[in-house]
């Protein structure tokens, strides 16, 4: 029987990793031989013991660059897997995965996590990525819009499967006051997540003497830039950069409003977590997931990417009249079954099982 090899050189702390653990554990109960190849050795406790983890023993590699980790895992697979009757499921570093599959004669399944708008901004990139993805036996994307974009821009067919979303255990709500608007954003502090748009909109709110507190949870290379902006605009009392937090969704119980400011996404788990907890949402209408999760504005409000003035108006409107957005957040729970954990994990298994 063929083995399933899950390829993810760098395990970090985002939505991709949440999906990785959920899916790997589900598949380990369906597939006899399953391996996970990574350069990180600090997440073993989250994986079913049936999964054979192939990683360096030394923790030294945990904080190396993604490129270094890609090469480590590349050589791990070449050295460890002598049998060519295997299936490679790539979560990351798809170029390396494509090369491995050609050398080892593996079946290749590529799971794409981020909208193709990230990497198809010129004809050369489109050409390269089309070659990489075309080498796969199956391409998996996590939203209908993502599937359409892949067909439109790269002329490639893909299988669409929503992210499997576990139910969040009930958490006690904190009594809130309408005098101070409590806003939350969760995401890596990177250019993609674009928290600067939130800060600019908050500066306008303060100008209007609107009382608010904004918590931003996450770490990343934009930390200092955001911190400097907060200092220069005298927003230290209103905005806090809290860094990375385990179980960050628990901060949702303090919040009145969740804001997503990303320039591009796949299918952001954090919006589905906010929906589970009835938290009103204002999100960018970025490719490809938010509009699908929010059903084009039926379950939350959307604004154009980078448009901080529009975001400011959306937040200000919510401050003075919360009923409309709260209604949308209450309605959202009815549509969460789209992301059912068992149903979507089973779709992955059926797709993989075709090649076993």
Q: What is the mean pLDDT of residues 63-68?
A: 90
What confidence score (pLDDT) does residue 168 get?
79
- How far apart, in whole angstroms, are the C-alpha atoms of residue 43 and residue 91? 16
What confidence score (pLDDT) does residue 170 get?
65
Of 69, 111, 115, 116, whose CA–CA distance to 90 is shortest? 111
What confidence score (pLDDT) does residue 18 get?
87
Q: What is the mean pLDDT of residues 33-60?
A: 88
Q: Helices marked H in 36-134 — which ranges?
A: 66-80, 94-104, 123-134
pLDDT in tens, 78-102: 999 877 789 999 999 999 999 999 9
Of 217, 215, 240, whose CA–CA distance to 227 is shortest? 240
The structural domains of the chain, ordered by start, are 3-164+340-353 (3.40.50.2000), 181-337 (3.40.50.2000)
CA angle 142, 148, 154 (to 5 degrees): 105
What confidence score (pLDDT) does residue 38 get?
95
pLDDT in tens, 278-337: 999 999 999 889 999 999 999 999 999 999 999 999 999 999 999 999 999 999 989 999
Give the CA count within 13 Å in the CB-facing half-sphere of 258: 33
Instruction: List Cα–Cα distances, 54 to 17, 57, 108, in angstroms.
Output: 17, 9, 19
- How far apart, in whole angstroms, are the C-alpha atoms of residue 3 and residue 136? 17
Classify 313 as helix, strand or coil. Answer: helix
Q: How confident is the model at residue 156 (pLDDT cuts 50, 70, 90)?
A: very high
Residue 177 has pLDDT above 70, yes or no: no
């Amino acid at each position: 029987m063929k083995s399933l090899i899950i390829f993810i050189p760098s395990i970090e702390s985002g939505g991709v990793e949440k999906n990785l653990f959920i899916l790997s554990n589900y598949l380990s109960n369906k597939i006899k031989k399953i391996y996970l190849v990574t350069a990180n050795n600090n997440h073993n406790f989250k994986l079913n013991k049936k999964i054979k983890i192939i990683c360096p023993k030394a923790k030294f590699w945990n904080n190396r660059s993604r490129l270094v980790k890609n090469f480590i895992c590349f050589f791990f697979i070449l050295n460890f897997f002598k049998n060519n009757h295997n299936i490679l499921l790539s979560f990351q570093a798809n170029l390396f995965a494509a090369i491995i599959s050609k050398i080892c004669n593996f079946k290749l399944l590529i799971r794409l996590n981020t909208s193709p708008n990230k990497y198809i901004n010129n004809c050369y990139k489109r050409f390269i990525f089309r070659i990489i993805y075309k080498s796969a036996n199956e391409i998996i994307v996590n939203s209908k819009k993502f599937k359409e974009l892949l067909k439109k821009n790269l002329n490639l067919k893909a299988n669409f499967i929503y992210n499997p979303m576990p139910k969040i255990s009930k958490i006690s709500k904190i009594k809130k006051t309408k005098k101070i608007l409590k806003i939350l954003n969760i995401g890596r502090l990177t250019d993609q997540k674009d928290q600067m748009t939130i800060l600019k909109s908050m500066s306008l709110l303060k100008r209007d003497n609107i009382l608010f507190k904004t918590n931003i949870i996450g770490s990343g290379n934009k930390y200092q830039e955001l911190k400097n902006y907060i200092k220069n605009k005298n927003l230290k009392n209103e905005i806090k950069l809290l860094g990375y937090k385990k179980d960050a969704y628990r901060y949702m119980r303090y919040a009145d409003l969740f804001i997503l400011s990303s320039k591009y996404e796949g299918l952001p788990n954090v919006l589905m977590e906010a929906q589970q907890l009835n938290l009103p949402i204002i999100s960018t209408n970025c490719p490809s997931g938010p509009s699908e999760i929010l059903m084009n504005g039926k379950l939350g409000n959307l604004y154009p990417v980078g448009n901080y003035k529009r975001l400011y108006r959306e937040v200000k409107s919510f401050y003075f009249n919360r009923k409309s957005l709260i209604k949308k957040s209450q309605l959202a729970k009815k549509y969460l079954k789209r992301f059912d954990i068992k149903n979507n994990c089973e779709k992955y298994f059926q797709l993989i099982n075709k090649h076993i």
